[in-house]
Chains A and B, each alone.
Chain A
Amino acid sequence: MQTQRIDYTQINGWGVDADPENDPTYPMQHREDAPPRDIFYDRPPQQPITVEVLHSIERPDVTAVFGATLPPTGLSGVIRRFAFKYSENEYKHWLPLILADRVDVVEGVLKDLAHGHVPNIFAEKGYAVEWKYNRTAFVTKMATIVAVTVGTILLLNSGKDKKSKRK
């Protein structure tokens, strides 16, 4: 198990970037080099805001550039708008965003179906490579999921039966 200590004198480039000054245990930033604290210094031109952009309330405005292909939509969009009422410092910002992401997944499946496309989840999950390179573990996992699902359904149904018999 023990691996060999390395003789670093043989390594191409050993120590070429060594810097005794780069010892962050001690203060090291040269403050005199810092630019003025004006974040609008030479602000780049604004990308036209043609779609809804939710921006962090920890800044005054939308940045000069932004991704514009996926504005918030649907129920997930409603939740995202709510989240962006709160700063990045708040759980009320991040937890709704995670919720919105999950709602978005359901909306995504519905949109697929509405477009007449049944998502091939087996392919989207890349199960083909599990089958190819990890077959035993993959089959075991799938069998477990099927067994647990079938078991749960049977259990729930037997509960129903008892109830209906009691009636």
Chain B
Amino acid sequence: MLAMEYRGPKRVRAVQKPMPEIKHPEDAIVRVTRSCICGSDLHLYNGNVPDTRVGSTFGHEFVGEVVEIGPDVTNIKVGDNVIVPFNVSCGRCYFCQQGMFGNCHQANAMATAVGGIFGYSHTAGGFDGGQAEYARVPYANVGPTVIPPGMDLDDAVLLTDVVPTGYQAAEMAGIQKGDTVLVFGAGPVGIMAARCAWLFGAGRVIVLDKEDYRLEFVRNYAPCEAYNFEEIGDPVLFIKKQTDWLGADCVIDAVGAEAAGNVLQTITGRKTLLQAGSATALHWAINAVKKGGVVSIVGVYGPTDNLVPIGNAMNKGLTIRGNQTSVKRLLPRLIDHVQSGRLNPKALITHRLPMEEVADGYRLFSAKLDNCIKPILIPPTVTK
């Protein structure tokens, strides 16, 4: 089968690989019909996630048709079209039982701090991902959810990560009616977080990024106020002035380790890996939130350390929340939001590429070329 393959930092290609096999009685094999490239893949692509082995297939955002099931799979059947949450989760461990499907304790042997994630290095369980024609889906009774009749596959594939992550970012921010919510990052996740902030009753939503085309998009889509942080001077000071000098009530970090905006952070976090990614957005978030406010982190950082003003977090009495999204927990609510028209995920998709052109897709999305917001890959077996 055709699959994306990692060869080293900023080097990927499409190759022929052996078909995935059932390795566990609760496995299923899914024929992929849509697969996205995500901001999270960029951390892998740039070589910044430890234990990313050459030959890995990435891809944690995919939907597809079930073509084979293990003997213990009862919740889905061959022929079902399913949304596959990006988390691998057993559904019965201490954490899954609390709805923390992003923190399953039976899905990642290699790191206890990280849950199991499809196509996300051995630090996230070593599973091959869905940027391929077929994928092995463990614990198929738990994650995969049948796509409701009539739902567009483009909407469905964004329910595997982008929509739930944007939503959980807003949820973790503890937004109270009327709150001013500040979102760092106008990538797919930040855009969705800004949109979802309104669902929780925000009174004002402000987004900062440096890509004008993304700011333009989010300004209309969320809708919200949106500013280019390269044009407003010190972004923290700018936000203080915008918020009666108090700071935003809630701040969301939807940027993570590839953040721009601070040379020291970029050199130590992205170029030399002295820290686990550049923490510029998180640094700004802690300083731009009001005292007693909430910082919600969905931006991904590596497993070592980051330079952030933790002393300010203490002095300001902040609450800091973060997580890998618990996709499975949120799916019923979000499917409803999509079906009722409150959320329109597929509007984010700007590029559709045949899977053979995966290397171009990564470059396009990574370098923010051709006004790219969200690229999806279409496997050759897919006709529509």
Contacts and interface: CB of A to CB of B under 8 A. Distances in A.
Q: Do A and B come from one complex?
A: yes
Interface of A: 1, 3-6, 8, 11-20, 22-25, 33-39, 41-45, 47-48, 53-56, 58-59, 61-70, 72, 76, 80, 83-84, 88, 91, 94, 97-98, 100-102, 104-105, 107-109, 119-121, 123-130, 132-134
7 contacts: A18-B199, A18-B200, A56-B109, A61-B109, A65-B23, A70-B55, A104-B8
Contacts of B128: 67, 69
Interface string B1-17: 00000011111110000
Contact of A64 (B106, B126, B342): B106
A101 B50 contact: yes
Q: Which 9 A-B pairs have the closest CB atoms?
A: A126-B363, A67-B126, A18-B201, A105-B8, A13-B342, A97-B50, A108-B54, A15-B201, A55-B109
A63 B198 CA distance: 39
A41 B92 contact: yes
Interface string B92-122: 1110011000000111111111001000001
Contacts of B122: 54, 67, 70
Interface stretch (B156-164, B220-228, B262-270, B278-286): B220-228
What band does the interface of chain B fall in when counting residues whose beta carbon is under 8 Å from A? 35 or more
Chain A interface SS verdict (over half)? loop
A99 B59 CA distance: 24
Most buried by B among A18, A41, A76: A18
Interface stretch (B28-36, B75-83, B145-153, B173-181): B173-181
Given A17-B199, A64-B106, A88-B112, A24 B172 contact: yes
Contacts of B226: 3
B332 interface: no
B24 A45 contact: yes
Given A66-B125, A97-B50, A13 B174 contact: no
B363 A24 contact: no
Interface of B: 7-13, 23-27, 47, 50-56, 72, 88, 90, 92-94, 97-98, 105-113, 116, 122-123, 125-128, 138-139, 171-172, 174-177, 198-205, 219, 222-227, 231-232, 273, 292, 294, 302-304, 317, 319, 321, 333, 337, 340-343, 359-364, 367, 369-370
Contact of A39 (B10, B105, B202): B105
Contact of B359 (A18, A66, A124): A124
Most buried by B among A4, A11, A102, A124: A124
Contacts of B111: 56, 88
A70 B227 CA distance: 44
A119 B15 CA distance: 12
A38 to B, nearest CB: 7
Given A12-B342, A128-B360, 7 more contacts: A1-B232, A5-B204, A5-B225, A8-B202, A53-B109, A63-B107, A104-B53
B215 to A, nearest CB: 9
A144 B175 CA distance: 48
Nearest to B51: A97
A108 B90 CA distance: 33
A108 B7 contact: yes
Given A91-B304, A105-B54, A15 B174 contact: no
Contacts of B109: 53-56, 59, 61-63, 66
Contacts of B54: 101, 104-105, 107-108
